[in-house]
Amino acid sequence: MTELRFTIDQQHNMFYLIGSIVFTSWLTIALKLVDRLNISTLQSIVWNYIFCVVTGSVVSGTYPMNAGVIHSGIWKWAILIGVMFIILFNVIAFTAQRMGVAAASVSNKLSLVIPFLFSVFLWGDQVTIWKVSGIALALLAVFLTCMPSGGFQSASDGKKNYFLWVLPLILFIGSGLLDTLIKYVQQDVIKSGDANGFLMSAFAMAALGGMIIFAYRFVMRKEKWMSKSILAGMFIGIPNYASIWCLIEVLKRNPDSSSVVIPVNNIGIVLFSTLTARVLFREKLTALNWLGIALASGAILLIAFG
């Protein structure tokens, strides 16, 4: 009986982990697909966050900016993180559309370097030669993965554009700072009962920030209303919430194994999204790109287990 229960638990863990990998990978792929279908990326991202709020509220029974969030004062952090959500999601989209899914995934997932560095100074995490090696390897991995086959050029139109190299750098630093901020808020600010309300509030603020940007661009006639972006947002937003829910479930079921779950999750996302983009979009990856992806996996393992 014990062995049967263990097997079922293991199957559930694997199910949630695979769900997190697939749903998270889908987000980057869907953003590139939105561009291919000539749907507004901004509007799709805004609707994505609206559907995140709706889905999350139904699943958790918690609503954004509820009394607990307001009275505890964490609404201020929700606004800040919500603004960072909408900005970085657009950077992820632009990076995936212009430099490829692999570049976006690696830059995003290797950003765990930054929370680690902050953890050393803020929370006294231990530094080892293996972790330092992982950081150095991560930086090299981002560089190699983002190196297009023709040099400094866009993956979408093939034109040389040196400014594109800023995109993965912004994504790398921005995602790392966001993860650090979320970790700080979770550890030092949020009470356990406010976690769902905080997440819903951050999603709502991201949606509101996106609406303001869209309203400005619409008034300035730089953006036209596209009703099909609602459907695109739904197909991004529901998996977006599902990816977070699955990861939380894995961590909840394995509270002492986060150091294993998170790196395996990140490696899975990098590899799965890269291979899927190779099949769906025929993204060309050079030997250096594949080397970068391999180094990215090694860097994640070194930082996590070093």
Predicted local distance difference test score (pLDDT) of residue 259: 63
Report residue 143 as tokens.
């560089």
CA distance 27 to 31: 6
- DSSP reduced 3-state for 282: coil
Count of alpha carbons within 13 angstroms of residue 216, beta-carbon side: 6
Integer angstrom CA distances of residue 171 from 4, 18, 79, 193 = 44, 24, 20, 31
Distance CA 82, CA 245 (A): 18
Look up the pTM and report it.
0.85
Distance CA 159, CA 162 (A): 10
Nearest to 173 by CA among 110, 238, 266, 267: 110
CA distance 105 to 280: 16
pLDDT of 162: 62
The rounded distance, in Å, linking the Cα atoms of 7 and 278 is: 34
Listed in sequence order, the residues at least 6 apart from 2 whose beta carbon sits closer than 8 Å to its beta carbon are none
pLDDT in tens, 95-145: 999 888 988 998 888 887 888 788 777 767 677 888 888 888 888 888 888
Reference 104, options 156, 38, 181, 44; nearest CA is 156
Q: Where are the alpha helices (DSSP H) in 37-74?
A: 41-60, 67-72
Low-confidence ranges of the chain (pLDDT < 70): 1-12, 123, 125, 148-163, 191-193, 255-259, 306
Measured CA to CA, the distance from residue 79 to residue 76 in angstroms comes to 5
Q: Specify the pLDDT at position 2.
A: 43
